[in-house]
Structure 1
C-alpha cells in the first residue's frame, strides 16, 4: 500500500510539473518566435518603404549600400525584386550572412504571396531542433499598386539557443520541484500509513494474544490523520472487548466444569447407594441414571481438557515424539489387551522433537487412542506411526472400526458432534475437537481420511523444533 500511495502522489506531482512546464516551455518558444518575427517584419517593411524611390527611378544602387551594410551587421540577406519577381538589387554575398536562394520553395512562396499584396504572417513555433531560417516578404506599394517585393532571410540560431536555455531552466526547475515533492511525499506517506501499519501488526497478534489469555497490544497511535487515529482507538476497544469476552467464556467453562463435578460426584454416590434399596421396576431407571451421570462426567472432563488446551496456546515447547508415543502406547496397551485389540507402534522420528503446548502431545495421543480403541472391534489392530516429512513431525493413528461416511469427515472435529451411526457408543464428542484445538495452536495440521480396508485414519503434523 505504501508503494502504491507513493506512486500515486508522485504521479500527481509529475503530472502537475509536466502540465505546467510544457505549456510554459511552449509559451517561451512562441514568445521568442513572435519577437523575432516582429523585429524582422519591421526591418522588412522599412526596406519596402526605402525601395519605392529606386524602383520608380530605376536606380537600384541608391539602396544597395544600405542592404549590404545591413547584411554585414546582422547577417540577414535582403533582396529587392521587381513586380515580375526578378531581383533588382540584393545585399550580395556577405561572409557570415545567410545566403538568399530565390529558387527555394519557401522563398518563392513568400514572394508570390507578397506580389499578390499580402503581408507576411508568423510561421510555426520556434523550437531548438528546427534549424530553418526565417523568410519574410513585404510588397513595395506605390500609389496602392504592388511595384515590387522586399525579401529577407534571417538566421534563427541565436533565438533557438535562447529558447533552449529557457527550456533547460524550466526542466531544471521542474526536476527540483519534483525532488522537493518527493522529499515531502515520502515522510507524508509514512505519516499517513503509520497507523495502518500499527493496525496490521496489532491485527496479526490479536488472535494469538486473545486465545493465549494475554493482554492485547494496544495500537495507541497518536499520529497520522484524525480518521485513522479514531480507527485505532476503535480497534483497541474492539480488541479489549473480544479479549474480555473470550476470557469470560473460558472462565465460565472452567468454573462450571469444576463446580459441577462435586454435585455430580455426590449424585452418582447417592445413585450407587440406592442399589438394592429400590424395587425391581425402578432398578432399570437407577442404572440409566448412573450411566447418564458417567456420561455427564465425561463431558465435564472434555470441557476441562478443552479449556486447558485453549489456555496453553502460545506456550510451545519441544517434545521428544518417540518418547511420548512409547509412554502413551504402554499405558493404553492395557486397555487394548482388555478389549482384545492389538496396539502397534511403527516408525521413528530419529530423535526429532516437535513443537506443542505443554502436555499437548500427550493429550492428542490420549484422545486419538481413546477414540480408536473405542470403535475398533476385538481381533483387530490400532496402528500408531511416526515419521518426519519436510521439517514436520507426522503422527498417524489408524483403526479398523466402522469409520465415518465421506461427508462426515469435515464435521468430525466439531464440538459435541457425533455420527448418527455411533450414538450408542459412550463419549462426549469433544475428543477430536480437543485434538484440533491443540494442533491449531501448535501451528500444525489435522487430516482425517478413510483408508483402504476400512476404519479411520487420523494424521497429525506438528512443526519440528529447531535444533
Structure 2
C-alpha cells in the first residue's frame, strides 16, 4: 500500500511537471528562435542599406571587406548580389562570385522586393541553418540583394540546456515529493498494517496485539478503536458460545438419556396397542439426541480456530471404504474405490473421515440391493495462479437421485427431502459443507450419469496453503489442543440422516430384539395394572 500511495503521489506530481515544463520548454525554444530570426532580419536590412549606399557611390570594391566584417561580427555567412542576381561577394564560398543566382527562390523573392526567411539543412555544415534574404534599397527598383546565413546550432544548444535545466528541476521536485510522500504514506499505512495484523490474529481465534489508537490519521485512529471494541465483544461472544457448546453437551445429553431409560421402563407395563406409540417416542428421542449431537458438533466446528493439515486422500478413502464394507454387504450393496491420485489435500483434523462417513451413509441408505456406491478420486489441473489444482472426491450412488431444486436446498440446516426417512435431523450435509469449507474446499451435488447422485468434494492440494494457513507442523499449541473430536455423524439431506460410522461390521445394535425382549402384555388397551 505504501508503494501504491507513493506511486500515486509521484504520478500526480509528474503530470503537473509535464503540464508546466513541457509547454514552457516549447514556448522558450520558439521564442528564442523568433527573437534570433527577428534580430538577423533587422541586421540584414541594415547591412543591405549600407551596401546600397556603397553601390550608389561606386564603391563596389568595398563590399567584400564590408561583408567579411559583418560576418565576423554576427557569425554568419554573407552574400551580396546585384540587381540581376549576380553574386558580387560571398564570405564563405568565393567560387560563387560572378554566378547568377536569380533563379533561387529567396534571391528571386528579394529581387521582387519581398524578404525571405527560412530554415533548411545545410550539407556543408551538417546542420540546420537560418536563411535571411532581404532587398537593398527603398525604391521600386532593387539595386542589390543581401543573404545572411546563420547556423542554428547555438540556438538549439541553448534550448537543449534549457530542457536539461527543466529536467533537473523536475527530478528534484519528484525527489522531494517522493520523500514527503513516503513519510505521509508510512504514517497512513502503519495503522492499516496494524489493523491487518490484528485482523489476522482475530481470524486465528484470539486478538493478542490490538492495533494502536494513538498514531495515524484521525479516521484510522477511530477505525482502530472501533475495531478493538468490536473484536473484544466478538471474542466475548465466541467464548460464551464455546462455553455453551461444552456445557450443553452434558446438560442436554443427560436428560435425554434419562428420558429414554424411563420410556423403556414403561415397556413391560404397556398394552400391545401402546407399543407402537412407545416405539415412535423412543425413535423421536433418538432423533433428538442425534440432532443435539449434530448441533453441538456444528457449534464446535464454527467456534474452533483449527488450521487445516495435509492428509493422504487415497489412504483416507480406502480406510473409510473398508470400514463401511461390512455394513454395505448386509444391504447387498457394493463399495467400489477407483482412482489413485497420490494427492495430499488440506482438511481439518478428522474432517475428511467425517465427510466420507456422512456421504457413504447417505448413499448406502438409498442404494437398492444389487447396486454399488463408487468412490472416485481425480486431480483437476488449475489455470494459472488464481485457480490452483484441486483434488476431487466423487461419491456416486445408484439411488433415486434428487431434482435440481432439491440439490440446491440439500445443504440447508434441518431440511430433508420429501422422500427421506423421518428419523433424520437434517444436519449431516450442512456439517459436511462446513467441514469442507473450513479446509478451503467446496462440495456440490450433481446428477450422476445413468441416475443417482454424485456428491463432488473439491479439496485444495497440499502444494499450496489454503487461506494462507500454514502446514500442520506450524500450528500453534492452542490450535493443536483445539482439535475437533469427530462427533457421531448424521448424514441427511436427500435421503435423511444416516447411522453412525459402523464398527464391527454392523450398522448399530437394534433397540430391541424379538427373540430376547420380554413378553408383551396381551390385555386390551387401558391403564396398566
Range class of TM-score, shorter chain: 0.7 to 0.9
From 333, 337, 360, the counterpart of 1:346: 337
1:318 aligns with 2:318: no
SS of residue paired to 1:443: coil
Deviations 1:379-406 (A, max 9, x none): 5433334455657544332223222112
From 123, 139, 147, the counterpart of 1:153: 147
Q: Which residue of 2 aligns with 1:92?
A: 89
SS of residue paired to 1:155: strand
Q: Which residue of 2 aligns with 1:24?
A: 28
Residues in 2 aligned to 1:444 and 1:231: alpha-carbon distance in whole angstroms:
36
From 59, 63, 70, the counterpart of 2:66: 70
Change (3 A) 1:169 1:457: same
Q: Which residue of 1 aligns with 2:347?
A: 356
More displaced 10-residue stretch of structure 1: 272-281 or 457-466: 272-281
Q: How does 1:236-255 map to 2 (within 5 A)?
A: 236=227, 240=231, 244=235, 247=238, 250-251=241-242, 254=245
Shift of 1:335: 3.9
Residues in 2 aligned to 1:257 and 1:140: alpha-carbon distance in whole angstroms:
118
From 172, 178, 183, the counterpart of 2:164: 172
Residues in 2 aligned to 1:321 and 1:93: alpha-carbon distance in whole angstroms:
97
Shift of 1:458: 1.4
Shift of 1:364: 1.1
Residues in 2 aligned to 1:96 and 1:251: alpha-carbon distance in whole angstroms:
104
SS of residue paired to 2:452: coil
Determine if contact 1:341/1:376 at 8 Å carries over to the other structure: no
SS of residue paired to 1:318: strand
Q: Which residue of 1 aligns with 2:516?
A: none
Determine if contact 1:268/1:290 at 8 Å carries over to the other structure: yes
Determine if contact 2:48/2:146 at 8 Å carries over to the other structure: yes
Structure 1: any 5+ residue segments left out of the alignment?
A: 115-119
Determine if contact 1:257/1:301 at 8 Å carries over to the other structure: no
More displaced 10-residue stretch of structure 1: 384-393 or 15-24: 384-393
Change (3 A) 1:334 1:250: farther
Determine if contact 1:140/1:150 at 8 Å carries over to the other structure: no
Q: Which residue of 2 aligns with 1:112?
A: 112
SS of residue paired to 1:420: coil
SS of residue paired to 2:458: strand
SS of residue paired to 2:129: coil
From 229, 236, 254, the counterpart of 1:262: 254
The root-mean-square deviation of aligned C-alpha atoms, in Å, is 4.5
Change (3 A) 1:46 1:396: same
Q: Which residue of 2 aligns with 1:117?
A: none
From 129, 134, 137, the counterpart of 2:135: 137
Q: Which residue of 1 aligns with 2:367?
A: 376
From 410, 414, 422, the counterpart of 1:425: 422
Shift of 1:151: 2.8
Deviations 1:129-172 (A, max 9, x none): 6434211224346xxxx565453211212xx1220111220222
From 395, 408, 430, the counterpart of 2:393: 395
Q: Which residue of 2 aligns with 1:332?
A: 324
SS of residue paired to 1:344: strand
Shift of 1:253: 6.8
TM-score (norm 2): 0.67
Determine if contact 2:194/2:212 at 8 Å carries over to the other structure: no
Change (3 A) 1:105 1:321: closer
Residues in 2 aligned to 1:190 and 1:277: alpha-carbon distance in whole angstroms:
86
Residues in 1 aligned to 2:374 and 2:452: alpha-carbon distance in whole angstroms:
11
Determine if contact 2:118/2:132 at 8 Å carries over to the other structure: no
SS of residue paired to 2:137: strand
Deviations 1:367-389 (A, max 9, x none): 11222233334454333344556
TM-score (norm 1): 0.74
Residues in 2 aligned to 1:370 and 1:331: alpha-carbon distance in whole angstroms:
12
SS of residue paired to 1:432: helix
Residues in 1 aligned to 2:286 and 2:399: alpha-carbon distance in whole angstroms:
24
Determine if contact 2:33/2:155 at 8 Å carries over to the other structure: yes
Change (3 A) 1:369 1:134: same
Q: Which residue of 1 aligns with 2:43?
A: 39
SS of residue paired to 1:447: strand
Deviations 1:66-121 (A, max 9, x none): 4332112223546586xxx457x98535556786934433223223237xxxxx5x
Residues in 2 aligned to 1:250 and 1:101: alpha-carbon distance in whole angstroms:
106
Larger helix share, 1 or 2: 1
